[in-house]
Amino acid sequence: METAKEQERVILVSVQTRQSDDLFDYELQELANLTETVEGEVVAVLTQKKDSIDPRTVIGKGKLEELTHLVEEFNPHTVIFEQELSPRHLRNLQEALPCKVIDRIQLILDIFAMRAKSKEGKLQVSLAQLNYLLPRLTGQGVNMSRLGGGIGTRGPGETKLETDRRHIHRQITEIKKELEETEKHRQRSREKRQASGVFQIGLIGYTNAGKSTILNRLTDAGTFEENLLFATLDPLTRKMVFPNQFKATLTDTVGFVQNLPTQLIHAFHSTLEESRGVDLFLHVVDSSQEFVDQQEETVLSLIEDLKMQETPIITVYNKKDMIHDNFQPHLHPHIVISALDENDIAKLQDFMWNEIKKHLVAYEREVPLLDGGSLFNQLQQETFVEEMDLIEEKNVYLFKGYAKRQSKWLGDSQINE
C-alpha cells in the first residue's frame, strides 16, 4: 500500500524595511502561497523590522539565533527567505543552519520547473536556474548534500549543481543556442499571423487572476485551469470567433508576480515575445484580492520593462462573485465579470468587440463580379466583412467592414471616422 508523500516542512523568513504593515503581510502571505504551490508546509514564520537588510545574514544576529532555535524545534527541510540572497548571505546562512536555505527567487524558479511542459519551457527554466545558481556555487561545501531533492532543486539542480563551472557555462551556451532556434521559429509564426491581418489579443495579468479560465470560455483551448499560482507556463495561442463572426487570436501567457526574478524575465524573453506583436492586451485582474492596486502596478510596470506599453489595454476585473469589500476599479476601459458566468462571458465578448472596433479602420471596397469569388474569400479571411451588397448598375459587389490599420485592403477605401 502506498503511503502519502510527506510534505516538506518550511520556515519562512522576511525583513520589513519600508513597506506598510498591510503590504508586508500581503507579501508574506504570497510567499506562503508560493510555498504551498510546491507542496511545502509552513511550520513557522520569522519576521524582523529593520531599516535595511543585514549585509552578512539578511536578519540581525539576535534574529539569526532565534531562527537557529526554530530550526532545532521544528526540524524543517528548508528555510525560505523573502529577500534575494547574495552568494555571501547564502554562504553565511548555510554555515549557521543545518538545513537547506533558498530565497523567493529560487522558489519561483522551482515552481516554473514544475509547470514547464514544452521543451522550450524546460530549456528556459534550466537557463534561468543555471544563471541564478552559478555565482552561488562557491563555498557551499556541506550544503551540496542538502540539495539532493525537494523544494528549490527541480530542473537542472540535482545533477548540474555537482558539475564544475566550465560544464555549467557550456550547458548555458548550448541552451541559448537551442532557444535561439526556437525563437526563430516563433518569429516566423508571429510574422505569418501579423501578415494575415488577423487581430491578435494577448492575455496578461497577475498569476491566478483567471486568465486560463477566460481563455477556455472564449475559445476551445481546453487549458489547465485550477486555483494555483503559475498554473500556465507555456504560451498558448487559440482562435477566437465573436458572435458576429469577427475572428481574432487569443494568446495566454505566464502569470506575472511582484518582483518577478530578473533571471526569469530574461530567460522567458521568447515566451513573453509572443505578446509583443499583439494588437490589444486583455488585462485580467482578480477583484477578490485585497491588494488589487499592487497587482495591477506589478503587471503594468512589467509591460513597461518589456517595452510594450504602447499596446492598447482593456481590463477585465474577474471573480466578481468573490469581490473584495474595498474593491474599486480604476483602470479604464474595464468590465467587471465572473469568468464562470455564461451571461458575463457574453457581455465580455460585446465589450471586447466594442473596444476592438476603436482600433480598426472602417472601409468600403468595390469588387467586380468577375473577381468576386477569390477576393471575397480573402476579404473574409483578412478583414471583418460587415455587409456585402450587389450594385447591379455598376456590376460590382460593395463590401463594408473593418480592418487593421496596416491592412493591405484599405488603400483609398478607408473611411475617415
pLDDT tens for residues 83-117? 999 999 999 999 999 999 999 988 988 888 887 77
- The response to whether 50 counts as a known ligand-binding position is no
Same domain, 287 and 395: no
Residue 232 lies in a domain: yes
Same domain, 277 and 347: yes
| pLDDT at position 372 | 57
User: Is 319 known as a binding-site position?
Assistant: yes
Q: Is 101 annotated as ligand-binding?
A: no
Please report where in the chains the cell 471573480 appears, as a residue.
Answer: 319
pLDDT value of residue 142: 43
Which of 338-343's residues contact partners 24+ apart within 8 Å by CB, and which partners? 339/210, 339/213, 339/214, 339/217, 340/213
What are 175-212's pLDDT values in tens digits?
A: 989 888 877 877 777 677 666 678 889 888 888 888 88
Lowest mean pLDDT among 48-52, 66-70, 189-193, 283-287: 189-193
Q: Is 49 marked within a binding site?
A: no
CATH code, 226: 3.40.50.300
Q: Is 210 annotated as a binding residue?
A: yes
Q: Which of 76-80, 140-144, 198-202 has the highest mean pLDDT?
A: 76-80
**Per the annotation, does 253 bind a ligand?**
yes
Sign of CA dihedral 185, 191, 192, 198: positive
357 is in an annotated binding site: no
233 marked ligand binding residue: yes
The amino acid at residue 59 is I
Q: Is residue 281 part of a domain?
A: yes
The answer to the question of whether 207 is labelled as a binding residue is yes
- What phi, psi does 244 have (nearest 5°)? -85, 10
Residues 341 and 398 in one domain: no
C-alpha to C-alpha distance for 335 and 348, rounded to whole angstroms: 7
Query: Do 172 and 227 reside in the same domain of the chain?
Result: no
pLDDT-derived band at 158, boundaries 50, 70, 90: very low
d(CA 232, CA 204): 11
Q: How confident is the model at residue 140 (pLDDT cuts 50, 70, 90)?
A: very low
Residue type (1 letter), 86: S
Q: Are residues 276 and 206 in the same domain?
A: yes
Residue 96's pLDDT is 93
Q: Does residue 205 sit in the same domain as residue 344?
A: yes
Q: 290 burial class (0-12, 13-18, 19+ CB within 10 angstroms)?
A: middle
* Residue 67 annotated as binding site: no
Residue 212 annotated in ligand binding: yes
Domain count, the chain: 4
Instruction: Taking residues 240-262, report their average pLDDT.
Output: 80
In a domain, residue 192? The reply is no
61 is in an annotated binding site: no
Low-confidence winner among 35-44, 325-334, 377-386, 403-412 (lowest mean pLDDT): 403-412
Q: Kindly compute the dihedral angle of the four CA atoms of residues 304, 306, 309, 313, in this order, to the nearest 10 degrees.
A: -110
Question: Is 153 among the annotated ligand-binding positions?
Answer: no
Q: Kindly report the CATH number assigned to the domain that includes residue 102.
A: 3.40.50.11060
Instruction: Establish if 189 belongs to a structural domain.
Output: no
pLDDT at 261: 65
Shared domain check, 64 and 160: no
Q: Out of 66-80, 202-216, 262-276, 350-364, which region has the weakest mean confidence (pLDDT)? A: 262-276
326 is in an annotated binding site: no
Residue 223 has a pLDDT of 53
The answer on whether 199 is annotated among ligand-binding residues is no
pLDDT score of 138:
57
Q: With respect to residue 191, please indicate whether it lies within any of the assigned structural domains.
A: no
Q: How confident is the model at residue 160 (pLDDT cuts 50, 70, 90)?
A: very low
Q: Give the 3-state DSSP-derived string for the chain, with helices as H, strands as E and coil as C.
A: CCCCCCCEEEEEEEEECCCCHHHHHHHHHHHHHHHHHCCEEEEEEEEEECCCCECCCECCHHHHHHHHHHHHHHCCCEEEECCCCCHHHHHHHHHHCCCEEEEHHHHHHHHHHHHCCCHHHHHHHHHHHHHHHHHHCCCCHHHHHHHCCCCCCCCCHHHHCCCCHHHHHHHHHHHHHHHHHHHHHHHHHHHHHHHCCCEEEEEEEECCCCHHHHHHHHCCCCCCCCCCCCCCCCCEEEEEECCCCCEEEEEECCCECCCCCHHHHHHCHHHHHCCCCCCEEEEEEECCCCCHHHHHHHHHHHHHHCCCCCCCEEEEEECHHHCCCCCCCCCCCEEECCCCCHHHHHHHHHHHHHHHHCCEEEEEEEEEHHHHHHHHHHHHHHCEEEEEEEEHHHCEEEEEEEEECCCCCCHHHECCC
Q: Check the annotation: does 176 bind a ligand.
A: no
294 compared with 222, residue with greater pLDDT: 294
Q: Does 93 carry a binding-site annotation?
A: no
**Average pLDDT over every residue of 391-415:** 77
Would the annotation count 321 as a binding residue?
A: yes
Residue 2 lies in a domain: no
| pLDDT of the residue at 231 | 46
What residues make up the domain containing 171?
Answer: 118-145+154-183
Is 231 known to sit in a ligand binding site? yes
Q: Which is higher by pLDDT, 388 or 257? A: 388
- Cα–Cα dist 318/49, whole Å: 35
Taking the CA atoms of 32, 38, 44 and 47 in sequence, report the sign of the dihedral they define.
negative
Amino acid 141: pLDDT? 44
Residues 351 and 392 both lie in one domain: no
Q: Is 182 annotated as a binding residue?
A: no
Q: How far apart are CA 114 and CA 253, in angstroms?
A: 16
Residue 223 lies in a domain: yes
In this structure, the answer to whether residues 239 and 127 fall within a common structural domain is no
Residue 350 lies in a domain: yes
pLDDT at residue 285 greater than cutoff 50: yes
Query: Rg of the Cα trace of the chain?
Result: 26
* 366 and 354 in a common domain: no
Q: Which of 18-22, 184-188, 229-233, 409-413 has maximum average pLDDT?
A: 18-22
317 with 390, same domain: the answer is no
Distance (Å) of CA 151 to CA 99, 353, 382:
12, 44, 48
**% of the chain residues with pLDDT over 90:** 35
Please determine, for residue 75, whether its predicted confidence score (pLDDT) is greater than 50: yes
Residues 160 and 255 in one domain: no
pLDDT at 270: 56
